[in-house]
């Protein structure tokens, strides 16, 4: 069933601040592949249904942790682009500012990262989208922008 998701940059513009989200590497879907994926594996990853991403145990572990901590989250799309359409890859917007003085942020960082800054879970990326970067797509918020864009496909 299709989902209507907000792109992460649109969320940043709505919040008027930089935003955090997590995304999952294809190895999360095929851990038996080790550290390398064949072209066939990558194609399979790109065509995975939403349900495959939503069923990832590590994704559910993160959701459970966020819920336990009282940290808001929602599904989101990647950074919007008029030149590329990307399917859903399990991305989760995390409703916390990037602020190392906030206990909730430092708890999130400790949960997802090792002390040296590397990711605790190799198939998980914690990504920051700055407001400046998000504002590059401000025209996407204009009424009818995506309808006009779709007419030119």
Q: Where are the domains of the chain?
A: 8-151
pLDDT digits (tens, 9 = 90+) for 94-133: 999 999 999 999 999 999 999 999 999 988 999 999 999 9
> DSSP code of 137?
T
Q: Which residues contact 17 (CB under 8 A, 6 or more apart)?
A: 97, 131
Strand order in the sheet with 124-129: 73-75, 92-94, 19-24, 124-129
Q: Which residues contact 121 (CB under 8 A, 6 or more apart)?
A: 58, 112
Predicted pLDDT at 36: 57
pLDDT digits (tens, 9 = 90+) for 132-145: 999 999 889 889 88
Q: Is residue 28 over pLDDT 90? A: no
What backbone torsions phi and psi does residue 142 show, to the nearest 5 degrees? -65, 140
Percentage of the chain with pLDDT > 70? 82
Q: How far is CA 114 from CA 13, 19, 35, 93, 129, in A?
A: 30, 21, 19, 21, 21
């Amino acid at each position: 069933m299709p989902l209507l998701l907000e792109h992460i940059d649109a969320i940043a513009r709505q919040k008027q601040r930089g935003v955090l989200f997590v995304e999952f590497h294809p190895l999360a879907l095929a851990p038996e592949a080790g550290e390398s994926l064949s072209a066939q594996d990558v194609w399979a990853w790109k065509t995975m249904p939403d349900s495959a991403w939503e069923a990832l145990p590590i994704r559910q572990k993160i959701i459970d942790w966020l819920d336990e901590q009282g940290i808001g989250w929602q599904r989101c799309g990647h950074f919007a682009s008029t030149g590329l359409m990307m399917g859903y890859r399990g991305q989760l917007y995390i409703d916390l500012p990037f602020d190392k003085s906030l206990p909730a942020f430092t708890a999130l960082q400790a949960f997802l990262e090792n002390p040296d800054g590397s990711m605790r879970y190799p198939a998980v990326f914690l990504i920051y989208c700055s407001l400046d970067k998000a504002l590059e797509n401000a025209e996407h918020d204009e009424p009818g922008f995506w309808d006009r864009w779709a007419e030119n496909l």
